[in-house]
Amino acid sequence: MADADDAPGGTDGQQPERRAAERRKSQPGMDSARRDALGRKVRRYTLLVGGIAVVLALWGIVNRLVTRSELRRSAAQDAVATVVTAKPRWSGAGGELVLPGIVQGYIESPIYARTSGYVRAWRTDIGARVRKGDLLADIETPEVDKQLAQARADLATAQENLAISVITNQRWQGLLKTQAVSKQDADNRSADAAAKKTTVDSAAQNVARLRDLESFKRVIAPFDGVITARNTDVGYLINAGQAPGTELFRLADIHRLRIYAQVPEAYAAATETGLKAELRFVERPGVGYAADTIRTSNALDPAARTLQVELQLDNREAQLLPGSYAEIHFKLPPSTATLRLPANTVLFRGPNLQVAVVASDHTIKLKDIDQGRDFGKTIEVLRGVDPDDAVVVNPSDSIEDGMKVRIAPPPSSDPSTVHPAS
In angstroms, the CA 215 to CA 148 distance is 11
Q: What is the DSSP string of 151-165?
A: HHHHHHHHHHHHHHH
What is the per-residue pLDDT for 227? 93
Beta-bridge mates of residue 122: 137
- The pair phi, psi for residue 368, each rounded to 5°, is -80, 140
Amino acid type, 289: Y
Per the CB < 8 A criterion, the answer to whether 394 and 355 are in contact is no
Beta-bridge mates of residue 339: 90, 381
Q: Where are the beta strands (DSSP E) in 222-351?
A: 225-230, 237-238, 249-264, 276-281, 284-300, 306-314, 325-331, 339-342, 347-349
Helix (H) or strand (E) holding 364: strand 364-374
Per the CB < 8 A criterion, the answer to whether 352 and 387 are in contact is no
Amino acid type, 376: G
Helix (H) or strand (E) holding 248: none
Measure Cα distances from 389 to 81, 339, 358, 368 in Å.
19, 11, 7, 13
- Provide the CATH number for the domain formed by 82-91+338-407 in this structure: 2.40.420.20
Closest CA to 104 of 304, 292, 323, 419: 323
Measure Cα distances from 188 to 160, 164, 172, 178, 180 in Å.
19, 14, 10, 17, 15
Q: What share of the chain is helix, strand, coil (3-state, %, to 5)?
A: 30, 35, 35
- Which 3-state string (H, E, C) describes 77-127? HHHCEEEEEECCEECCCCCEEEEEEEEEEEEEEEECCCCCEEEEEECCCCC
Q: For helices 142-177 and 183-215, what crossing angle results, to 10°?
A: 160
Q: Which residues contact 348 (CB under 8 A, 6 or more apart)?
A: none
In angstroms, the CA 196 to CA 191 distance is 9
Q: Count the neighbouring beta carbons within 10 Å of the beta carbon of residue 195.
A: 13
DSSP label at 133? Answer: T
Per the CB < 8 A criterion, the answer to whether 210 and 148 are in contact is yes
What are the residue ranges spanned by the domains of the chain?
Answer: 82-91+338-407, 97-102+253-331, 142-216
Per the CB < 8 A criterion, the answer to whether 92 and 416 are in contact is no
Architecture of domain 142-216: Orthogonal Bundle (1.10)
Low-confidence stretches of the chain (pLDDT < 50) are: 1-11, 29, 413-422
CATH 2.40.30.170 applies to domain 97-102+253-331: yes
Helix (H) or strand (E) holding 419: none
Residue 134: Cβ-neighbour burial (10 angstroms; 0-12, 13-18, 19+): middle
